[in-house]
A and B are shown apart, each in its own frame.
Chain A
């Protein structure tokens, strides 16, 4: 009888050992798979255009410097905590031993565990506060650009000022989609919103700043090298929040002067008899009530039948909730449209500009969009039926709650001929 019992116990022990061995192997496999996954996912971020770990300006570098310091401290603490926890789990695991004696109250340990975190927090707080003040400084501003968010695109306007470039900016410039700025220049963005709260963030140039209606917030920007730096709205702002992107374009100061000069050029009407000239009329009939093209005029007659020429002025405040639509005067001088969501350059031409060396970038960017490089397919889709590409509250039948005003571009019901005319006209808007 006793032998029989002994044999039974022996079988149980073998089964238990086999089970523990299987569990250990299983856990090791999971841990190994986790490590591989972490390594794989970390590798994904190498060429990410919105990587905060790849600063491209002094402000982003300032954040990076703080980030490393805090990350190092947090990393060391994390390792210590995990090692201590791991050691405790293994060393004091339940092996059927008696419960150790419970103690309460050890002043030296309690004081030590209060002072140590305080010192750690202080070590983190001092550089953090210093960084906050550095990033909030506005006295060394060399160039001011106003940034205004609305559903779902960003408008940039350049105030009249002595800064930005030698001779300053003598007349206001309005653009959208791409923020153009000179390199090695302390740029101050004055950020606000016309409708809901948005957030402006170009990760490689600085942290983010909320765009709040009725408030003017400032954000420093500085880029070391020419190039295009991507970002996106980081405050949920409605239907197309995910498609409210932005790009900061940094140009050498000389190239920036060229860009400013181009933005201030007088309007050149299309040559009479061309498709673009027909497109101008189509534009005035369909687009000009919201989109401004500076210098655009319309011929007509007065009450006495005399010929007149009157400026075509947009009235976005009458039709749109935010009271603004992108200024199209120099549409083809930028690379994107529809809230920087789609490229104006074809996939073939895009890398030529985006991946250009710093030396070549300015010249290539300033070429603007040529007929050969125009991403006509998506631009055509957009003009045909914008809400089909980008969700917006742009259906006139549903605009009642907003006083009949829309949020975004509606479906204008244009036919192919009208679209062809408009594209021909817009291609000349450099």
Chain B
């Protein structure tokens, strides 16, 4: 009897009447009267619209057409079941919660609400596209599937990758490669089996993939909640005199040291000087100049990359002493001796240092030098023009 459109307007009519009564009684006086009049007017308007919808059976056709009541699309069937009202409700909930807690939750709510609005709108429109439900469904798919599939695939893939990263960050550093290899072998083996047996049912493949995916996601979720393993921050270089002057681990030096250069490939391929410690002797080679150098020339106000290679025991660090400068300010004389150094480098290891000298070497009260603390009588002089 009642069409969908008329239900909406009848609901509005009832709500307006109730609101008019509530406002009129609760506020009283002129305000209550004006409110009640306004809401009563709205109720009247809603009632008229409900009547019109009932008369034309929600159709955009002339009321004079006798077939309208039976042939127009809206009159054929009620709206189909839809999950989008529920999704919209959840999205609104996330918006409210997110506004008070995490911005990320709020953003998820916004995205979800937009997605639900689009899906709901297209579904609602497609259900009235014609009197043929199958055609209506195909119209909806034609519009939304090209968007839904890539988006869902990206979300699914992202979820698996994120879960996998949580797993790798949770497990032990040494165990990581093992797990990685095992999973890789399993994936390749599974793929090989499926490829070798084309007769395997699609449902079996989908089932296995779904179980594997769920396993990764659920494990990742558990490990994400538990938190990642402790990762020690270990800078490869230092400007701390307490460290640079020390033969062994310096004060405040990280226990875990990266013995390999942490710089980029581009920087490593751009060495100006290479310093080697072998049999207690320090030698240097300089880009473009033949043989070993006892004096190297580095540019002023421009970064220079120096590689240190240790071929001796024990672990050694490589220190660049960048002169000594005395300044007097407010009658107080201060001498600074800046230096840069690597962390300890094991036998066979190498470490790179990028240094920059803002002043020429003749300005300094002490020469610029490359030294290895603990190795006496060995230094390379640096000249900065």
A binding-site residues for B, Cβ under 8 Å: 138-139, 141, 144, 146, 148, 157-161, 163, 172-174, 188, 190, 192-194, 213-216, 218, 292, 294, 313, 316-317, 322-324
Contact = CB atoms under 8 A, between A and B. Distances in A.
Interface string B372-385: 00000000000111
Contacts of B286: 159
B234 interface: no
B287 interface: yes
B266 interface: yes
A362 B385 CA distance: 26
Given A157-B297, A174-B385, A163 B289 contact: yes
Given A216-B304, A323-B358, A192 B289 contact: no
A141 B301 contact: no
B383 A159 contact: yes
A55 B265 CA distance: 36
B266 to A, nearest CB: 7
B302 interface: yes
B288 A173 contact: no
6 contacts: A138-B287, A148-B299, A163-B289, A194-B301, A216-B304, A323-B358
A148 B289 contact: no
Interface string B114-150: 0000000000000000000000000000000000000
Given A214-B303, A323-B301, A157 B289 contact: no
Interface of B: 266-267, 270, 272, 286-290, 295-297, 299-305, 358-360, 362-363, 383-385
A144 B299 CA distance: 13
B191 to A, nearest CB: 36
Q: Which of A138, A161, A174, A322 has the most CB of B within 10 A?
A: A161
Contact of B288 (A148, A188, A214, A317): A188
A148 B302 contact: yes
Contacts, number: 74
A298 to B, nearest CB: 14
B385 A172 contact: yes
Given A160-B383, A172-B385, A317-B358, A218 B300 contact: no
Given A159-B383, A160-B383, A317-B358, A144 B289 contact: yes
Nearest to A171: B383
A194 B357 CA distance: 12
Contact of A192 (B266, B299, B360, B383): B299
B359 A160 contact: no
Contacts of B304: 216
Contacts of A216: 270, 272, 287, 304-305
A184 B290 CA distance: 19
Q: Which of B287, B288, B304 has the most CB of A within 10 A?
A: B288
B385 A190 contact: no
Nearest to B304: A216
A141 B289 contact: yes
Contacts of B305: 216
A316 B302 CA distance: 13
B74 to A, nearest CB: 56
Given A190-B287, A216-B287, A313-B363, A160 B297 contact: yes
Given A148-B302, A160-B383, A323-B358, 11 more contacts: A141-B288, A144-B288, A157-B297, A159-B296, A159-B385, A163-B290, A172-B383, A214-B270, A215-B270, A317-B301, A324-B301
A182 B198 CA distance: 76
Contacts of B296: 159
Q: Which of A190, A193, A292, A294 has the most CB of B within 10 A?
A: A190
Nearest to A159: B297
Nearest to B294: A160
Nearest to B381: A160
Given A317-B301, A317-B358, A215 B266 contact: yes
B297 A317 contact: no
A157 B297 CA distance: 9
A193 B302 contact: yes
Nearest to A217: B270
Given A216-B270, A216-B272, A161 B289 contact: yes
A198 to B, nearest CB: 12
A193 B303 CA distance: 10
Contacts of B288: 138, 141, 144, 188, 190, 218
Contacts of A173: 385
A188 B383 CA distance: 19
Contacts of A158: 385
Contacts of B289: 141, 144, 159, 161, 163
Given A159-B297, A159-B383, A192 B359 contact: no
Q: Which of B266, B287, B299, B360 has the most CB of A within 10 A?
A: B299
Nearest to A147: B299
A29 B302 CA distance: 59
B91 to A, nearest CB: 44
Contacts of B266: 215
Contact of B385 (A139, A157, A323): A157
Given A144-B288, A159-B383, A323 B300 contact: yes
A19 to B, nearest CB: 57
Nearest to A169: B297
Contacts of A138: 287-288
Q: Which of B270, B297, B302 has the most CB of A within 10 A?
A: B302
Contact of A146 (B295, B299, B359): B299
A192 B302 contact: yes
Q: Which of B301, B358, B363 has the most CB of A within 10 A?
A: B301
A404 to B, nearest CB: 16
Contact of B301 (A144, A190, A218, A322): A322
Contacts of B360: 292
Contacts of A294: 362
A190 B289 CA distance: 11
Given A215-B270, A216-B304, A317-B359, A160 B295 contact: yes
Contacts of B363: 313
A294 to B, nearest CB: 8
9 tightest A-B CB contacts, nearest first:
A159-B297, A323-B301, A172-B385, A317-B358, A157-B385, A188-B288, A174-B385, A144-B288, A215-B270
A172 B361 CA distance: 10
Contacts of A148: 299, 302
A405 to B, nearest CB: 12
B216 to A, nearest CB: 41
A294 B303 CA distance: 23
A172 B359 CA distance: 14
B373 to A, nearest CB: 25
A213 B295 contact: no
A293 B301 CA distance: 18
A216 B297 CA distance: 13
A209 to B, nearest CB: 13
